[in-house]
Amino acid sequence: MTVVSVEQALAGKIPAGGEVTVRGWVRTVRGTAGLAFIHVTDGSCFAPIQVVANDSLANFDEVKRLTTSCAVIATGTLVASQGKGQSFEIQASAVEVVGWVEDPLTYPIQPKPMTPEFLREVAHLRPRTNLFGAVTRIRDCLAKAAHRYFHENGFYWISTPIVTTSDAEGAGQMFRVSTLDMANLPRDEKGDIDFSRDFFGKETFLTVSGQLNVEAYALSLSKVYTFGPTFRAENSNTTRHLAEFWMIEPEIAFADLAEDARVAEEFLKYMFRAVLAERGDDMAFIAERVQKDAITRLESFVNAPFERIEYTDAIKLLQKADRKFDFPVEWGLDLQTEHERWLTEEHVGRPVVVTNYPEHIKAFYMRLNDDGKTVAAMDVLAPGIGEIIGGSQREERLDMLDARMAQFGLDPAHYGWYRDFRRYGTVPHAGFGLGFERLVVYVCGLSNIRDAIPYPRAPGHAEF
């Protein structure tokens, strides 16, 4: 007896006629008089394998009572299947029921369409649905491809801290971990310092970005990246924002904005190619049930160069657009989602890199251009979602960085270590941040970012 995954069994890698065992959960069961057709999935691929059981099994009565999500171990002979769309099936010699579903009628996951809103309320059970199984495997494929891209291109993976004292974006959107009040340290009933409430003895927060920390490593290891959770306490009750999301942030020494944009484009295309090559089964389901053109648009994304537009030109285009926007379009104002979507969906029809934004709407660390009005920033906009990447060339000149911090009202004492890179061997460098869930939303054609992460954190939502 060989234990195999459903994926291995369906690929027929095991000699047909051989005996195999699969372990998983029932997706559906159909039956006729002396036969039961059980579709079993173990998450290893999109398709389930059909297990055919007949009344020669000692526990056939039990097998007939199986319902969706019961856990089973099925052993039998792997044979080529006569069924439509199935490569191999198992003619069972034994079906062991490992776990019953206690009340199939009230079990939340039913083999029928369920709304995303309902499924978010049962986030711990939704990976059992076809959609969340597919999204989970695609997310995994994208993450592994990201690491592979960096590995193949000489980047080192740096683990940056989650608890920090620095506001990397200077935007005041940090979740507080501990406070500064040394005189009144919290004490428990015995009078001892309660470290669970004030461990660090200073104000600490959850990080909004690993960028500042990873810059330090770029300035010694040249090409580096972080890939970790980041947190933003913005009131982000939208379909594009999470309070906790994962960000991939490469940082490259001796790079300017053009090189930054080149890497961003190459990196995205690498990941899309991986999904097309490795997750054809899940993407076919997405194309059938979620977004008709899910595969063709990824293919076109991979095959066409991204458009590059300067912010100033983007404003002119938007002002001339044959379309009324809800938010004003004016040089100096940030682009809103409706503007980003018009640019990428209606004007260009493919991804766009917008560069050189007005300095006062972008973060303090971005490099001031010679015009004194714009910074070397870039956003990569994708059709259907808008901004998925934000990046920039960093301000490597200490006097300019100090001036920018003063302009944003940031205390240089808090950023002493960050200023050090500009004091000791400073070089031009650049990087970007890719919002990982926005990438998943784009690839899977999802309409809400809360479905792109296993356990979404958003205002009022921290269950499970």
- Is residue 245 involved in binding ligand 4AD (CB under 6 A)? yes
Of the two residues 49 and 248, which places its CB atom closer to ligand 4AD in the complex? 248
Note whether 22 and 49 are within 8 A (CB): yes
- Does 247 bind ligand 4AD (CB under 6 A)? Our answer is yes
Q: Check binding of 383 to ligand 4AD (CB under 6 A).
A: no
d(CA 79, CA 92): 11
Q: Cα Rg for the chain, rounded, in angstroms?
A: 26
* Closest CB 380 distance from ligand 4AD, rounded Å: 8
Measured from the CB atom, the residue of 166 and 209 that comes closer to ligand 4AD is: 209
Binding of ligand 4AD at residue 429 (CB under 6 A)?
no
Where does 197-299 show beta strands of DSSP type E? 204-206, 223-231, 244-253
# residues contacting ligand 4AD (CB under 6 A): 24
With respect to ligand 4AD, which residue has the nearer C-beta, 20 or 218?
218
What length does the chain have?
464
Minimum distance, C-beta of residue 168 to ligand 4AD, in the bound complex (Å): 6
255 binds ligand 4AD (CB under 6 A): no
DSSP 409-439: T--GGGGHHHHHHHHSS---EEEEEEEHHHH
| 3-state helix/strand/coil string of 355-406 | EEEEHHHCCCCECECCCCCEEEEEEEEECCCEEEEEEEEECCCHHHHHHHHH
Q: 446 near 452, Cβ under 8 Å?
A: yes
For residues 299 to 338, the per-residue mask of contacts with ligand 4AD, x marking binding by CB under 6 A and - elsewhere, is ----------------------------------------
38, 45, 74, 168: which one binds ligand 4AD (CB under 6 A): 168
How far apart are CB 164 and ligand 4AD at their closest, in Å?
13
Rounded to a whole number of angstroms, the minimum distance from the CB of residue 247 to ligand 4AD is: 5
User: What SS3 state is found at 294?
Assistant: helix
- Cβ-in-10-Å burial (0-12, 13-18, 19+) of 398 comes to middle
Q: How far is the CB of 101 from ligand 4AD (least distance, A)?
A: 35
Q: Is residue 236 at the binding interface for ligand 4AD, with CB under 6 A as the rule? A: yes
Instruction: Give the binding site for ligand 4AD (CB under 6 A).
Output: 168-169, 209, 211, 232, 236, 241-242, 245, 247, 249, 387-392, 431-433, 435, 437-438, 449
